[in-house]
Structure 1
Amino acid sequence: MEHGHRDENRDEIAARVREVITAAGVSQREFARRIVMDPSKLSRSLSGTRRFTAAELARIADEGQVDAGRLLGSRHRPPTRPTGTPVAVEGGRPSQIVRETVRLIAERGFHAVRVSDIAEACATSTAAIHYHFPGRAELLEAAVRWCMDEDTAHRAARTAEAADPADELRQLIALQTPRTAQQRRQWAVWLDLWAEAARSTAVGHLHTEYYRQWRETVADVVRRGVAQGSFRPVDPQAAALALTALIDGLATQVLATAPGAPGTDAEAMHAALLAYVETTLTAPPVP
């Protein structure tokens, strides 16, 4: 009987979350992006094969602007002090927490960032941070997912204006070249997360999925360019692997060189990438 009660409670919570998503007027995947949650986890939780965590429900309530207690239910109470008094969790919205976490990682490196630093940046308490993201592992995963979503959105916006596959590839290269302070910060975060991915299974899986999507984006552009005759008849997957690896290697050299100092700079990286595309991919003009 107790097991049946748990299943019923899980179904009730899933139904309430569906109502919140419907009221938000966005797709399930978009809602998952907004609450910095793995879309597959959200799907499994809504289908009843996985239980929502209290922190996930807190982020859902925050995004949907509903009473957290309505979603959390009697078995998931907000965090309390030793006296039993509920901890105030005003401020520190999940999206703000993640953005500040990413900024601090770029500036200091993940392992130098404390939860108290994030709380200070968000003008809130550490209890509010832990309410949405119980531990550093959850914060790191959220930061990785946020960076992935931001990068994907920027790529889509940039390539939407391209005239043809060759122009799309040039736009992607420009987007990956760390010219601006913002682009350097994004690359600094990626470099830090790469190192963490080698030690963390969860982050490693995210890293693998992100690179699968990124290489497939490049391969698709190359594939269409080959079909239209603007690129040589190359293997799109092999070309994407080589080009993305070159981008990563050159960007690492740029990040290791202070702006204005001798060494590989952003303009040299950009020129080298365009020359590589011209030499290995661009089809010679028809005589």
Structure 2
Amino acid sequence: MRQTAGERVEDSAGEVAERVRKVVEASGCTQREFARRIVMDPSKLSRSLSGTRRFTVAELARIADAGEVDAGWLLGSRPAARAAGAGARTPGGADEAAAPSPAAAPREPALPSAGRPLQIVRETVRLIAEHGFHAVRVADIAAACDTSTAAIHYHFPGRAELLEAAVRWCMDEDTASRADRIAEAGAKDAAAELRELLALQTPRTEQQRRQWLVWLDMWAEAARSTAIGRLHVDYYRQWRTTVADVIRRGIAQGVFREVDAEFCALRLTALIDGLASQVLASAADGEGGTSPDDMYTALLAYVRTELLAGAPTAD
């Protein structure tokens, strides 16, 4: 019986989860990092591995792609028999006959840089940034990836899953960049850390602009989609926690005055969102408006008047 990409895979004996666990272990990365590679919510991967949630066919397809194993083996549709010649491998290193998964068309070779799923997500992000999510068709994404719409649906069942994956990828990229910025700050004081985080949120580069344009679509969808709404809440919770932690360190160091760190992080986040939307609108117009420099200057002014110790407070 043919399975659809969004269908949950029966795994009452836990055999599918055990095969996925072997793939994750063989990848040499953490479970969270593996979830990032397959553009999957880490909590969903954890629940699926523990048996409290079933994998979908599309999730297993992405796992197979990332782990360079045969999707049919993950699905349990055929045994891990050795075969002469090239074929998909198991985590243990044995070759398998390269028979296609019954869930979809035969798998295409993994791309050297990241694999088909991440290529799909990156092209989706680019197209959303250029045209808006509701103007982007699956056929457009397939054309950008030089593949078929069936191959897109093999990894992501529908447009909703594509938007969720695009938003999650942008979140992961932003979180990774944020962690790098904090690590680079090293022995710097909290004020320097905060300036770097604010620079990271200012849409100057093409990648920053694309991420912000995807956020705009996320804001609209968050009010209508439970899945996107959860991503929205999780991202902003993580971001405000990061900012509040930096503010608390600044207070302890004596560079920031005594303030409510969480409330200050909330106000600063609202200012960032409002200014960024003005920058994006101005760039689209091409004349006047708010520039990235204007945005960054305004953010530093807020830090100076509201946070820096010894600075005069705003009335």
Cα deviation per residue 1:131-180 (whole Å; 9 max; x = unaligned)? 00011111111111101100000111112122121101000111111122
Alpha-carbon offset, residue 115 of structure 1: 0.5
Alpha-carbon offset, residue 102 of structure 1: 0.5
> Does 1:142 pair with 2:165?
yes
2:177 maps to what in 1?
154
* AA of the residue aligned to 2:233: T
2:274 maps to what in 1?
249
Cα deviation per residue 1:174-231 (whole Å; 9 max; x = unaligned)? 1111122322222111111111111111101110000000000000000110111110
Alpha-carbon offset, residue 77 of structure 1: 4.6
**Following the alignment from structure 2 to structure 1, what is the Cα–Cα distance between the partners of residues 57 and 177?**
31
RMSD: 1.7
* AA of the residue aligned to 1:274: L
Alpha-carbon offset, residue 6 of structure 1: 5.0
> Does 1:113 pair with 2:136?
yes
Q: Is the 8 A contact 1:61 1:71 kept in 2?
A: yes
**Following the alignment from structure 1 to structure 2, what is the Cα–Cα distance between the partners of residues 93 and 119?**
11
**Equivalent residue for 2:68, pick from 56, 65, 68:** 65
Comparing 104-113 and 256-265, the one that deviates more: 256-265
Gaps of 5+ in 2: 1-9, 79-99, 110-114
> Does 1:34 pair with 2:37?
yes
> Does 1:237 pair with 2:262?
yes
**Following the alignment from structure 1 to structure 2, what is the Cα–Cα distance between the partners of residues 89 and 7?**
26
**Following the alignment from structure 1 to structure 2, what is the Cα–Cα distance between the partners of residues 135 and 73?**
24
**Following the alignment from structure 1 to structure 2, what is the Cα–Cα distance between the partners of residues 15 and 211?**
34
- SS in structure 2 at match of 1:32: helix
Q: Which protein has the bigger helix share?
A: 1
Cα deviation per residue 1:213-269 (whole Å; 9 max; x = unaligned)? 000000000011011111000010011001011010011111111275212111111
* AA of the residue aligned to 1:90: E
2:195 maps to what in 1?
170
Normalised TM-score (structure 1): 0.91
> Does 1:7 pair with 2:19?
no
**Following the alignment from structure 1 to structure 2, what is the Cα–Cα distance between the partners of residues 78 and 136?**
22
Matched residue count:
273
Alpha-carbon offset, residue 88 of structure 1: 3.4
**Equivalent residue for 1:130, pick from 150, 153, 160:** 153
**Following the alignment from structure 1 to structure 2, what is the Cα–Cα distance between the partners of residues 175 and 65?**
34
**Following the alignment from structure 1 to structure 2, what is the Cα–Cα distance between the partners of residues 61 and 183?**
30
> Does 1:16 pair with 2:16?
no
**Equivalent residue for 1:277, pick from 293, 296, 303:** 303
1:83 maps to what in 2?
none
Q: Is the 8 A contact 1:198 1:204 kept in 2?
A: yes
**Following the alignment from structure 2 to structure 1, what is the Cα–Cα distance between the partners of residues 59 and 283?**
40
**Following the alignment from structure 2 to structure 1, what is the Cα–Cα distance between the partners of residues 231 and 137?**
22
Alpha-carbon offset, residue 79 of structure 1: 3.6
> Does 1:265 pair with 2:283?
no
Percent of counterpart pairs with the same letter? 74
Q: Is the 8 A contact 1:94 1:132 kept in 2?
A: yes
1:104 maps to what in 2?
127
User: Against the structure 1 CA distance between its residues 6 and 278, is the aligned structure 2 distance closer, same or farther, given a 3 Å change threshold?
Assistant: closer
Q: Is the 8 A contact 2:70 2:101 kept in 1?
A: no
2:220 maps to what in 1?
195
Which ranges of 4 or more aligned residues in structure 1 deviate by more than 4 Å? Answer: none
**Following the alignment from structure 2 to structure 1, what is the Cα–Cα distance between the partners of residues 41 and 293?**
36
Q: Is the 8 A contact 1:169 1:218 kept in 2?
A: yes
> Does 1:93 pair with 2:96?
no
* AA of the residue aligned to 1:7: S
User: Against the structure 1 CA distance between its residues 114 and 282, is the aligned structure 2 distance closer, same or farther, given a 3 Å change threshold?
Assistant: same
Q: Is the 8 A contact 1:89 1:127 kept in 2?
A: no
Alpha-carbon offset, residue 22 of structure 1: 0.6
Cα deviation per residue 1:67-94 (whole Å; 9 max; x = unaligned)? 11110122995345xxxxxx23416710
